[in-house]
A and B are shown apart, each in its own frame.
Chain A
Amino acid sequence: MKYAIEMRNVSKRFTTAAGTEVVAVDNVTLEILDGEFFSLLGPSGCGKTTSLRMIAGFELPTAGEIYIHGKPMDATPPNKRPVNTVFQNYALFPHMTIGQNVAFGLEMERLPRAEITRRVGEALELVRLSGYENRKPHQLSGGQQQRVALARALVKRPEVLLLDEPLGALDLKLRKEMQLELKKLQREVGITFVYVTHDQEEALTMSDRIAVMNGGRVLQVGTAAEIYERPVNRFVADFIGETNFLKGTVVMATDEPDRYLVRLEGGAMLMASCEHPLQPGQQVVVAIRPEKMHLNGSRRFGPYADNHVHIPGRVQEIVYIGTDTHYDVALEAGPIVRVREQNSGVFSPRLALLGEAVSVSFDAAVARILVD
């Protein structure tokens, strides 16, 4: 399999004006497949933009190598790299019309005028902005500017398109529309997309694969389902979606590989899996998603099976949000967990009353043991 982008042990250190060193990207290794929609996801300041800028050639790595389609980039300047960027705030040329903006990249390739005109027309049609050729960027709405930025990059037919939070400046509704549109576009043109975002929902909906970053490091790479269902550590579990964390102690390893018996705070015992080798007595956290937990109260008792773990607690808060109802339950052992029950009935009554003594339960198989 050919990689569109390879980052090999790439690090980037900045020296700030105050003289301190910042490690923006810390020993990152990534393999991005040809034709893939790949997202870099992480909180603000985790090094996403810096990684993208190193691929584009605006920053050179302090250490490590970057390959684009197998070719080492070394100090290749941005104008010689087969990638194009959609910038965070679009960076349209304010003194040029939309047509001139989109044509700029082709003029740099010294293509014949007729071909430039044709391809600019095609690109603007692709982003549904035909007829806007003679407008200036400031005469367009945010969403339209965003599409011009996209057309300007795509018209070059790059092997890889880099996008830095391209939807960040749009309002929620437009953002949702553009997410779908971008995904559709990527499938149509078949170009590799490297997409930077701090919005986990955006990454989950759009990406073929996601790299979760924090503090300059890549913590986990995988499909949306892999990252959601099998987060490798507490940060990933917490950052992607909602998670309940329960403290526990490893009692012993079981006969099955990677499965351990864990005693939770409060005494409940469960068998759960962990890829890291664990020692008896080791402190761990067990992560369970709210929608995988059930509420058992006076009005309803959840599904029951031998391997279900039951933990007693008291309902502290009930929040109805339409599709679901959230029950925040204070466990006897201390922590507060959230249980999400789907409102799938004709009229979904509350499953418990505020302040009621209940138990929360979950299938031990859905619990994940996390070390850090």
Chain B
Amino acid sequence: MKHRRPFWLYLIVVLVYIFLYAPILVLIIYSFNASRVNVRFEGIVNIEPCGPFYWFCQLSRNHEVINAARNSLIIASISTLGSTVIGTMAALALQRYEFPLKRFSEGALYIPIVIPELVMGIGILVLFTTVFRAINTALDLQGNARLGMGLGTVIVSHIAFSIPFVALVVRARLHGFDRAIEEAARDLGATEWITFWRITLPNIAPGVLAGALLAFTLSLDDFVITFFTTGPGATTLPIYVYGLLRRTITPEVNALSTIWILLVFLLLVVIQRVQGQQR
């Protein structure tokens, strides 16, 4: 017995996909544009020695871009490490311990996910400037010794906004985790520490890895919070691209975005794979 699905349902699905992916496709096509002023497509660029990948080559010679990419990767790596460790610990604590205000702490942990990024960005900015000013004045720091915005502040804020996401993903994994195997390990002579490394972690690893990848993508993509917490020498790729856009939109920006999209897309595929393994 065949059940016919209405035609309009297909149509809507197709339209949604077009709406989602058309801009990305256009963006990628324009990274091969022959025109430097990237408003009209004037055929595929072909300038030796790179041929159609001319704008990609230009990009690789651009020190500012390379710097920004390096900053982004440094920030993403360190903040992923930090938020994964803290987020996993938070998830474990919430799963296994009873403590005062547990319900409240649990709710509070996830609130940042729904708070507008702009609000959080401003909040973090105010926090940093206030604290830094207080410390600078109190210790009478001068010149380079003065605390200010930079890579450090961006990393800390990225750790902060990634923790809830990591905790959420890890908790989902913990849901099906049988704590009896931890007791079995203790029973067989393992200390708490060994039990964590040899029993708990291997069993929740897919969740932790998925959380880490999510944190990594979030950090790479982030514009708003980075915008508020960045400082001299801490320009990330999204910030740099935004700066370029305010001048001219060259195909170079598109080339950069293309690489960016591919990278994030790759990460998402890996996340899906990892989460698929959990089943």
Contacts and interface: CB of A to CB of B under 8 A. Distances in A.
A325 B250 CA distance: 97
A66 to B, nearest CB: 15
A214 interface: no
Q: Is the interface of A mostly helix, strand, loop or mixed?
A: loop
A322 interface: no
22 contacts: A17-B98, A56-B187, A58-B183, A58-B186, A78-B187, A79-B188, A79-B191, A85-B183, A85-B187, A87-B183, A91-B178, A91-B181, A91-B184, A92-B181, A92-B184, A93-B184, A93-B199, A104-B188, A104-B198, A108-B189, A108-B190, A108-B194
A57 B181 CA distance: 15
B123 interface: no
A94 B181 contact: yes
Contact of B180 (A89, A104, A153): A89
Interface in A143-160: 152-153, 156
Interface string A73-85: 0000111000111
B213 to A, nearest CB: 20
B188 A95 contact: no
A109 interface: yes
Contacts of A91: 178, 180-181, 183-184
A105 interface: yes
Interface size grouping (class) on chain A:
20 to 34
A58 B180 CA distance: 11
Contacts of A58: 183, 186
Given A56-B187, A77-B186, A153-B187, 6 more contacts: A78-B187, A91-B181, A91-B184, A104-B188, A104-B198, A108-B194
Contacts, number: 59
Nearest to A17: B98
Interface of B: 98, 178, 180-181, 183-191, 194, 198-199, 202-203
A92 B178 CA distance: 10
Contacts of B191: 79
A87 B184 contact: yes
Interface of A: 17, 56-58, 77-79, 83-85, 87-89, 91-95, 104-105, 108-109, 152-153, 156
A89 B185 CA distance: 14
Nearest to A100: B198
A153 B189 CA distance: 11
A160 B185 CA distance: 17
A108 B180 contact: no
Contacts of B188: 79, 84, 104-105, 108, 152-153, 156
A88 B184 CA distance: 11
B277 to A, nearest CB: 12
Given A105-B189, A108-B194, A109-B189, A78 B183 contact: yes
A108 B194 CA distance: 9
A58 B181 CA distance: 13
Contacts of B187: 56, 78-79, 83-85, 153
Contact of A93 (B98, B185, B186, B189): B185
Given A94-B203, A95-B203, A108-B194, A87 B180 contact: yes
Interface centre among A79, A152, A153 (most CB of B within 10 A): A79
B186 A78 contact: yes
Contacts of A108: 188-190, 194
A359 B191 CA distance: 67
A95 B198 CA distance: 10
